[in-house]
């Protein structure tokens, strides 16, 4: 332990000088913390609303938290793994200088915790900046007001601590796949298989989600409102979790078939790239799964509102309808912010962490255009799986919850299609935006070789 601190101080200066090593994870945690604090503030405000509609508002707050926070937690765990290759290079140099394996593991955890802490503190600033904007939104018959969205010191510290602990836990898990030998630090070379148990576990969890969704409407007045809310949240949370459980296995099966049928170099390399780590390929676009789920749920909500608003609602019900509509829009906006953060950061990190492979392909004659095609195939292929799995999962949960008439209504389908198209467009734009990063990596590699 005593030897780690001098090494940590020695390592801090070059690490801070290399902006690419810390900018991605810190930015990711800043965006994540900002959104989580905004959502937490909104949920707390909903929870404090008095009156006959209090239970309804609390249920809506719970649904929004589950739809948004679960994907953000997944993104936070992925953010810890960003720039892993450059981290391994630095640790290898320290290992060759005589640092012990325990010291290297401690340094890795310290680095991950520092990134999460710095990003979370910036996220608090982001929350303070967005607070006046959110305060102007109309809810419960008037503007929200800054006072209603202010979080105390305890919730702020709780979110920061939770993100730091999540980063440390994710980093500790990722260290299990790192081989620390006397000659350096590297990822273990064995292929990262995806167990068939994922399909079984996913099917069982989907059955639980569908069962909970079917039970919730039947409870009605027979159970306390909080019990009904908890059952609904269980159904939605389980449905969201299914997406990331079964997705990587289905993706691996599909890309093995594409590998056998590959007829061009880009198709072959893209299939190999995905099969090298199906879970990593899935994580690059997994945030879109939550958006598709939100799209189907939001579409069903809009369809329900369109029916209710035309049935002569009184003032209280009219206010509730307006609040639900605003909540749906906010949920979709926050979901898209998550996708934008995930796509931009993951794509940039993927290019930087695979720079040795990309430079090697360039040296053997693969052009930059062909490498762009490889990236496009390796990202857009998983994209369609994410959308298909998430839509099927959301339909399985919402059908027993709100009925086929709402889920299959033209309004629901239109909102879902619009959300899917916008999400896919953001992924495509993220690919295009990181073209300059790939070009810079290839130029830097060529200059180093020359």
pLDDT tens per residue, range 278-290: 887 887 777 778 7
Query: What was the pLDDT predicted at 157?
Result: 94
pLDDT of residue 37: 92
| Confidence check: pLDDT of 205 > 80 | yes
Is a pLDDT exceeding 60 seen at residue 17?
no
Partner residues linked to 392 by β-bridges: none
- Angstrom distance (rounded) from CA 90 to CA 95: 9
Considering only 119-123, 171-175, 228-232, which range has the smallest mean pLDDT? 171-175
Shortest CA distance to 249 belongs to which of 299, 209, 192, 303? Answer: 192
d(CA 444, CA 351): 13
Q: At residue 441, does pLDDT exceed 80?
A: no
The answer, yes or no, to whether residue 433 has pLDDT greater than 90, is: no
CA-to-CA distance for 156 and 153, rounded, in angstroms? 5
Please report, for the chain, the start and end positions of each structural domain, with discontinuous segments joined by +: 1-190, 244-450
Which backbone phi and psi does 97 adopt, to 5 degrees?
-85, 0
E strands, 113-155, in order = 138-139, 142-143
> How does residue 94 score in pLDDT terms, banded at 50, 70 and 90?
low
Q: Structure pTM?
A: 0.78
Residues near 240 by Cβ (< 8 Å), separated by ≥ 6?
66, 67, 70, 71, 289, 290, 293, 393
Strand partners, 187: 178
User: Angle CA(152)–CA(156)–CA(159) in degrees, nearest 5?
Assistant: 145
Regarding predicted confidence, which is higher, 445 or 140?
Answer: 140
What is the phi/psi pair of residue 205, to 5°?
Answer: -70, -35
Say whether pLDDT at 394 is over 50.
yes
Q: What is the pLDDT of residue 267?
A: 87
Per-residue pLDDT at 33: 92
Enumerate residues 6+ apart whose C-beta is below 8 A from 392. none
Helix crossing, 265-276 with 225-260: angle to 10°? 140
For the CA atoms of 374, 245, 158, 134, the dihedral, rounded to the nearest 10 degrees, stands at 70
Terminal alpha carbon distance of the chain: 42
Q: Is the pLDDT of residue 315 over 80?
A: no
Question: What is the spatial distance between Cα 103 and Cα 6, in angstroms, rounded to a whole number?
Answer: 11
Q: DSSP secondary-structure letter at 142?
A: E
* pLDDT tens digits for range 115-131: 889 999 999 999 999 99
Does residue 287 contact residue 234 with C-beta atoms inside 8 Å? no
Contact between 379 and 347 under an 8 Å Cβ cutoff? The reply is yes
Give the phi and the psi of residue 136 in degrees, each rounded to 5.
-80, -10
Task: Compare 100 and 10 and report the one with higher pLDDT.
Answer: 100
The pLDDT value recorded for residue 185 is 47
Neighbours of 393 (CB within 10 A): 28
CB contact at 8 A, 112 and 170: yes
Among 116, 47, 23, 36, residue whose Cα is nearest residue 69: 36
Instruction: Find, among 59, 69, 57, 47, the residue nearest to 228 by Cα.
Output: 59
């Amino acid at each position: 332990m005593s030897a780690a601190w001098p090494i940590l101080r020695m390592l801090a200066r070059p690490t801070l000088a290399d902006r690419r090593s810390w900018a991605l994870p810190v930015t990711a945690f800043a965006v994540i913390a900002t959104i989580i604090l905004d959502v937490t503030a909104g949920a707390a405000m909903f929870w404090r609303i008095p009156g006959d509609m209090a239970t309804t508002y609390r249920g809506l707050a719970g649904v929004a938290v589950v739809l948004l926070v679960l994907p953000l937690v997944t993104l936070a765990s992925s953010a810890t793994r960003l720039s892993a290759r450059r981290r391994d290079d630095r640790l290898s140099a320290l290992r060759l200088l005589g640092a012990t394996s325990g010291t290297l593991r401690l340094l890795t955890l310290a680095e991950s915790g520092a990134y999460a802490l710095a990003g979370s503190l910036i996220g608090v600033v982001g929350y303070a900046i967005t607070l006046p904007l959110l305060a102007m939104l109309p809810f419960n018959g008037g503007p929200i007001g800054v006072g209603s969205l202010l979080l105390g010191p305890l919730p702020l510290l709780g979110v920061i601590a939770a993100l730091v602990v999540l980063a440390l836990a994710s980093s500790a898990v990722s260290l299990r796949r790192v081989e620390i030998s006397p000659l350096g630090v590297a990822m273990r070379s064995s292929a990262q298989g995806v167990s068939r148990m994922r399909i079984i576990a996913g099917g069982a969890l989907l059955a639980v989600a569908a069962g909970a969704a079917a039970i919730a409407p039947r409870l009605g007045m027979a159970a306390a409102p909080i019990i009904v809310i908890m059952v609904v949240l269980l159904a939605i949370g389980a449905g969201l979790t299914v997406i990331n459980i079964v997705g990587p296995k289905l993706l691996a099966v599909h890309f093995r078939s594409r590998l056998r049928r590959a007829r061009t170099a880009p198709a072959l390399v893209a299939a190999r790239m995905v099969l090298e780590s199906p879970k990593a390929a899935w994580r690059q676009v997994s945030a879109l799964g939550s958006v598709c789920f939100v799209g189907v749920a939001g579409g069903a909500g809009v369809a329900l509102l369109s029916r209710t608003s035309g049935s002569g609602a009184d003032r209280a019900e009219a206010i509730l309808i307006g609040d639900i509509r605003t909540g749906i829009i906010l949920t979709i906006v926050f979901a898209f912010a998550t996708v934008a953060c995930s796509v931009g950061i993951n794509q940039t990190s993927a290019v930087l962490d695979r720079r040795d492979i990309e430079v090697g392909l360039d040296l053997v004659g693969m052009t930059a255009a062909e490498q762009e095609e490889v990236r496009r195939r390796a990202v857009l292929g998983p994209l369609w799986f994410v959308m298909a799995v998430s839509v099927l999962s959301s339909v399985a949960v919402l059908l027993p919850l709100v009925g086929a008439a709402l889920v299959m209504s033209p309004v629901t389908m239109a909102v879902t299609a619009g959300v899917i198209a916008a999400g896919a467009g953001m992924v495509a734009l993220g690919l295009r935006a990181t073209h300059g990063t790939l070009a810079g990596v290839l130029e830097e590699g060529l200059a180093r070789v020359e």
